[in-house]
């Protein structure tokens, strides 16, 4: 294959109680990426968007992923990448993970599918490391596998695809800055054992609810006593949005990744749309610009839009 | 119904990484209990075993469960209970939970099944409180529900039955004393967030493995960085037993409840039997008497052996 166009979806990490281990892919927003195979081991990155991200490969999330692939596989080929990013950097919706996972997925397709999904995750994690300083896979895994994924361990990589409950997601991205590194630093290094026990009861309940498609169990497991009380301080109106979303029929929800985006799950599309409008109106009231997204959980992750094979050239 | 005879199985709480939330029923050992309905609200407890447990209802695990049932339901009936205990008190194999769950289960049957399973758990927890000072349900739940259960929360009671993987259990009970209350007190009140994250990855992996019947995933999720390193100090030869059991083909295992019993899971009966012999020989070498048990995971929990209905009298 010479060229591939892909849609790379936003992802929501943590899923409230599953800090650093759970994540899910959604349909909206998504990035568009086009990758071409080059005849020499060089990397060209072009951003056709307005976020001002660096295009120098060593400073670009997709670039470092491709550099690592070229080096580790001792390739004599290279990649030219065009990115039209719609997942806003710093939104907490897996923007850097999308660039990283898209680069690994696209390169793998161009190379004839020589990598396993675990290997794609392995290479994509170099992009997350560049973006946030941490080699985490909780956004990358659902982007590559689709649906809801469990990162049982990121070293060694042990990803367990769970399933895709038939639920809708409302997400709001308020235009305030929360850096992943700050959101990580404010967390306490020590937690109470009794809080941890409550948390793992919720995690076990959430995983069971997802696998058994037990929607009420999913709802009553979406509690986080450890991370949310600390991180939500960085997000204006978090408590009001959560309370009013639950009143409006949300199953549950919380911070998307390290924020500032907030997501809620709902059984019906109309409920999710109502919640999205509610979220937006709360930020409108305090003059914070916000973007809202409504979609189903995305069962398949990255999607191939167009492929140009050698024999079509 | 006037009289019921039941077999009440041993249970293994925690299942390595699921401290205070997971438990499973096994077939061996088990207690035998016989309950008769009396015409006045009195309680008679008789132990036909040699453990010297108090028979005064307010000091007896089954007794306090029945007292609470009589009081809360304002019964004009009472219960006469005969217990032949084979699950040794202090073994960590759910001996007090068996008496408590058996009392609640038997009373419910005699009263015409007026209680839900959650309500039986609720009443049985008064017995655990008497025995250990803590109203925990991680042994009671699998005793009543069978198989492997998740205690998502014990207040309010939220029990999720998982499933019963087709696995064998080898357990050893060395004759050393570890009090549940001591085993609880030596735990640290604070734990590292990073250890907690690793633990909840293992819990999510274990629950997924159980529900998907993914045996290798069950095996690689049976790790505990938080409780086992502290509690295993109280159990002679713990590390050697674990290491050699794994070498002999165990999937994984650890401390049963708060110890001193140790359990291991295996795919084949012969492997479980080999591990049981190995466990016993290790304690024989250091002149500690031990009892070993091999059985499958028990899918149904308490079993009715005999019922005498009014019309049979």
- Angle formed at CA A199 by CA A197 and CA A201, multiple of 5 degrees: 70
Bridge partner list, B269: none
- Round the average pLDDT of chain A to a whole number and report it: 95
- The residue among A180 and B246 whose pLDDT is bigger is B246
Q: According to the model, what pLDDT value does residue A77 have?
A: 96
Q: What is the CATH T-level fold of the domain B3-162+299-312, as seen in this structure?
A: Ribosomal Protein S5; domain 2 (3.30.230)
Contact B190 A189 (CB under 8 A): no
**Cα separation values, A79 from A57, A66, A115, A243, Å:** 11, 7, 16, 47
Bridge partner list, B226: none
Given a cut of 60, whether residue A88 has pLDDT beyond it is: yes
Please report how the helices A117-132 and A61-72 are oriented relative to each other, as an axis angle in degrees rounded to 10: 130
Q: According to the model, what pLDDT value does residue A310 have?
A: 65
DSSP codes, B223-269: --SSSHHHHGGGSTTHHHHHHHHHHTT--EEEESTTSS-EEEEESSH
Q: How would residue B134 be classed by pLDDT, with cut points 50, 70 and 90?
A: confident
Q: Are B253 and B222 in contact (CB under 8 A)?
A: yes
Å between B113 CA and nearest CA of chain A: 26
- pLDDT tens, position by position, B98-123: 999 999 999 999 999 999 999 999 99
B210: nearest CA in chain A?
A208
Query: Rounded distance, CA A4 to CA A110, Å?
Result: 7
Given a cut of 50, whether residue B313 has pLDDT beyond it is: no
Q: Are B128 and B137 in contact (CB under 8 A)?
A: yes
Å between B21 CA and nearest CA of chain A: 6
Establish whether the linkage from the previous residue to A72 is cis, with ω within 30° of 0: no
- What residues of B are in the A interface, CB distance below 8 Å? 18-22, 150-153, 158, 160, 162, 187-194, 196-205, 207-208, 211-212, 217, 220-221, 226
Q: According to the model, what pLDDT value does residue A14 have?
A: 97
- pLDDT tens, position by position, A247-275: 999 999 999 999 999 999 999 999 999 99
Q: Are B147 and B298 in contact (CB under 8 A)?
A: yes
A18: nearest CA in chain B?
B200
Interface test with B, best of A188, A189, A196 (most B CBs within 10 A): A196
Helix (H) or strand (E) holding B199: helix B193-212
Contact B193 A190 (CB under 8 A): yes
- pLDDT tens, position by position, B227-239: 999 999 999 999 9
Q: According to the model, what pLDDT value does residue B311 have?
A: 53
Å between B295 CA and nearest CA of chain A: 26
Contact B191 A190 (CB under 8 A): yes
Residues of B in Cβ contact (< 8 Å) with A226: 193, 196
Q: Is A221 annotated as a binding residue?
A: no
Given a cut of 50, whether residue A117 has pLDDT beyond it is: yes
Query: Rounded distance, CA A219 to CA A267, Å?
Result: 10
ipTM of the complex: 0.93
Helix (H) or strand (E) holding A174: strand A168-174
Q: How would residue B310 be classed by pLDDT, with cut points 50, 70 and 90?
A: low
Q: How would residue A230 be classed by pLDDT, with cut points 50, 70 and 90?
A: very high
Q: How would residue A185 be classed by pLDDT, with cut points 50, 70 and 90?
A: confident
Given a cut of 70, whether residue B142 has pLDDT beyond it is: yes
Q: Where are the domains of chain A?
A: 3-163+299-312, 168-296
How many other C-beta atoms are found inside a 10 Å radius of the C-beta of residue A40?
8
Q: Is B155 annotated as a binding residue?
A: no
Q: Tell me the three state secondary structure of residue B7.
A: strand
Of the partner residues B151, B162, B204, the one whose CB lies closest to the CB of residue A18: B204
Average pLDDT over residues B25-52: 97
Q: How would residue A177 be classed by pLDDT, with cut points 50, 70 and 90?
A: confident
Q: What is the CATH T-level fold of the domain A3-163+299-312, as seen in this structure?
A: Ribosomal Protein S5; domain 2 (3.30.230)
- DSSP 8-state symbol, A59: G
Query: Rounded distance, CA A264 to CA A146, Å?
Result: 18
Q: According to the model, what pLDDT value does residue A311 have?
A: 53
- pLDDT tens, position by position, B151-162: 999 889 999 999
Q: Is A18 annotated as a binding residue?
A: no
Structurally, at CATH architecture level, domain A168-296 sits in 2-Layer Sandwich (3.30)
Active-site positions of B? Answer: 128, 180
């Amino acid at each position: 294959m010479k060229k591939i166009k892909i849609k790379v979806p936003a992802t929501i990490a943590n899923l409230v109680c599953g800090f650093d281990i759970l994540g899910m892919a959604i349909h909206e927003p998504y990035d568009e990426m086009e990758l071409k195979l080059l005849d020499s081991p060089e990397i060209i990155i072009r951003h056709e968007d307005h976020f001002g991200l660096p295009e120098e490969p060593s400073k670009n999330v997709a670039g470092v992923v491709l550099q690592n692939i070229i080096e580790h596989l001792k390739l004599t080929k290279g990649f030219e990448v065009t990115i039209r990013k719609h997942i806003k950097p710093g939104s907490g919706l897996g923007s850097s993970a999308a660039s990283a996972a898209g680069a690994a997925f696209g390169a793998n397709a161009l190379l004839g599918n020589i990598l396993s999904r675990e290997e794609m995750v392995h290479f994509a994690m170099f992009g997350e490391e560049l973006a946030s300083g941490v080699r985490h896979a909780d956004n990358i895994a659902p982007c590559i596998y689709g649906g809801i994924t469990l990162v049982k361990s990121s070293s060694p990589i042990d990803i367990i695809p769970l399933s895709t409950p038939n639920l809708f997601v409302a997400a709001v991205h308020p235009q305030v800055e929360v850096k992943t590194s700050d959101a990580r630093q404010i967390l306490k290094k020590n937690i109470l054992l009794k809080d941890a026990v409550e948390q793992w009861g919720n995690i076990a309940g959430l995983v069971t609810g997802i696998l058994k498609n037990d929607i009420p169990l999913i709802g009553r497991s979406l509690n986080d006593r450890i991370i949310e009380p600390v991180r939500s301080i960085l997000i204006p109106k978090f408590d009001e949005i959560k309370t009013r979303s639950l009143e409006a029929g949300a199953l549950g929800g919380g911070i998307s990744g390290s924020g500032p985006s907030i997501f809620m799950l709902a059984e019906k599309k109309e409920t999710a749309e109502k919640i999205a409008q509610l979220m937006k109106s709360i930020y409108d009231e305090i003059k914070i610009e916000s973007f809202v997204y409504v979609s189903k959980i995305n069962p398949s992750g990255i999607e191939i839009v167009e492929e140009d094979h050698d024999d079509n050239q």
